[in-house]
C-alpha cells in the first residue's frame, strides 16, 4: 500500500536492550547498567538510568521491555513502602525480590522484563537475587539483558569469591564496557550503584572514561 506509514521506530516496541549486572561483596552490593533504550534500530534514550530504587538500600536493575520493567519496579516500590510501614523497619532484600518475582511469575505470559534485585539489609548483608521468568534465586552475582550473552565467558573467568568493594566496582565497569562494545542494544554511559551499611552511592562513568581494549 502506498502512502506514509511513518518511521519504523514509531511502531516498534521500546526495549531496554541492555546489559545489567549485580555483584555481592562482604558488606554490600554493587549494581551496574548501561544507558541505552532502543525502539528497533533507533536509540530513543541514550542516558537512561536503569538502576531503579525499590527502597533506601534495595535497588533493582531493569532489562527487557522498558514499559514492563518500569511498571514492575514502581509497583514493587509501592508495595515495599506499605510493607515496611507494617513491619516498622527496613524491609529485607529477599522480600523485595519476592514481590518482584510474584509479579513476574503471575503475569509471565504478558510481560517481557527481567529485573535483578540487589541490596543490603541487617540480617543477611549484601544480597543479589535473579528473578528471570518468575524464578527466585540468590546468587553471588548476576548478569542480564541482551548484552550479557557476550560477557558470560568473561565473568566466569574473572569472578572470584571474596573481592573487595573497589574490586567489585572495577569488575562491574569492565564487564559493562565489554558488553557495550559488542552488543548493539547496549551503550551510552555506565551507571554504578554501591550499597552498603552506611550509604548508597550512585555514580556515572562517562563514555570516554570507560576501559578500552586492544582494538580501540
Partner 1 sequence: MAAAATMMPFFGQRISSKNDLVPDWVSQEVSTGTTIMAVEYDGGVVIGADSRTTTGAYIANRVTDKLTPIHDRIFCCRSGSAADTQAIADVVTYQLGFHSIELDEPPLVETAANLFRASCYRYREELTAGILVAGWDRRKGGQVYCVPIGGMLVRQPVSVGGSGSTYIYGFMDSNYKPGLSKDQCLELTATALSLAMERDGSSGGVVRLATISEEGVERRVILGNQLPKLHREKQGFNRSCWNTTASIC
Q: Is 214 in the site for partner 1 (CB under 8 A)?
A: yes
Smallest distance from partner 1 to CB 27, Å: 17
Please identify which residue in 158, 200, 201, 202 interacts with partner 1, judged by CB under 8 A: 158
Backbone φ and ψ for 39, nearest 5 degrees, come out as: -125, 95
Contact pick of 5, 82, 156, 198 for partner 1 (by CB under 8 A): 156
Identify the residue among 178, 189, 193, 195 touching partner 1 (CB under 8 A).
178
Distance CA 149, CA 153 (A): 8
Q: How far is the CB of 67 from partner 1 (least distance, A)?
A: 27
- Is 18 considered catalytic here? yes
Q: Which of 137, 183, 181, 185 is nearest to 22 (CA)?
A: 137
Binding residue count for partner 1, defined by CB under 8 A: 30
Q: Provide the terminal-to-terminal Cα distance of the chain, rounded to the nearest Å.
A: 45
**Strand 28-33 with 20-25, pairing:** antiparallel
Judge whether 22 and 114 are in contact, CB under 8 Å. Answer: no
- Helix, strand or coil for residue 159? coil
202 binds partner 1 (CB under 8 A): no
Pair 187, 34: CB distance under 8 Å:
yes
User: Does the footprint of partner 1 cover residue 174 (CB under 8 A)?
Assistant: yes
Closest separation between CB of residue 210 and partner 1, Å? Answer: 8
Active-site residue, selected from the candidate residues 5, 16, 18, 137? 18
The verdict on 199 binding partner 1 (CB under 8 A) reads no
Residue range at the interface with partner 1 (CB under 8 A); choices 20-28, 66-74, 131-139, 149-157 = 149-157
Report the candidate in 183, 119, 100 with the shortest Cα–Cα distance to residue 145: 183
Grid cell in block for residue 118? 540487589
Q: Which residues are catalytic?
A: 18
Binding site for partner 1 (CB under 8 A): 149-162, 166-167, 170, 173-175, 178-179, 181-182, 209, 211-215
Amino acid at each position: 500500500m502506498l502512502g506514509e506509514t511513518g518511521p519504523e521506530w514509531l511502531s516498534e516496541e521500546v526495549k531496554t536492550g541492555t546489559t545489567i549486572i549485580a555483584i555481592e561483596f562482604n558488606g554490600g552490593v554493587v549494581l551496574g547498567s548501561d544507558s541505552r533504550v532502543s525502539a528497533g534500530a533507533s536509540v530513543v534514550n541514550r542516558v537512561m538510568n536503569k538502576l531503579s530504587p525499590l527502597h533506601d538500600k534495595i535497588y533493582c536493575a531493569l532489562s527487557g521491555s522498558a514499559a514492563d520493567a518500569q511498571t514492575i519496579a514502581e509497583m514493587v516500590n509501592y508495595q515495599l513502602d506499605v510493607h515496611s510501614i507494617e513491619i516498622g523497619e527496613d524491609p529485607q532484600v529477599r522480600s523485595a525480590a519476592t514481590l518482584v518475582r510474584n509479579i513476574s511469575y503471575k503475569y509471565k505470559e504478558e510481560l517481557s522484563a527481567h529485573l535483578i534485585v540487589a541490596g543490603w539489609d541487617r540480617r543477611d548483608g549484601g544480597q543479589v537475587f535473579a528473578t528471570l521468568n518468575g524464578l527466585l534465586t540468590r546468587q553471588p552475582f548476576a548478569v542480564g539483558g541482551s548484552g550479557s550473552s557476550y560477557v558470560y565467558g568473561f565473568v566466569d573467568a574473572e569472578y572470584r569469591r571474596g573481592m573487595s568493594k573497589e574490586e567489585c566496582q572495577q569488575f562491574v565497569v569492565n564487564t559493562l564496557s565489554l558488553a557495550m562494545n559488542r552488543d548493539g542494544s547496549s551503550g551510552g554511559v555506565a551507571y554504578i550503584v554501591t550499597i552498603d551499611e552506611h550509604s548508597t552511592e550512585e555514580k556515572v562513568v562517562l563514555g570516554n572514561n570507560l576501559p578500552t581494549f586492544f582494538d580501540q
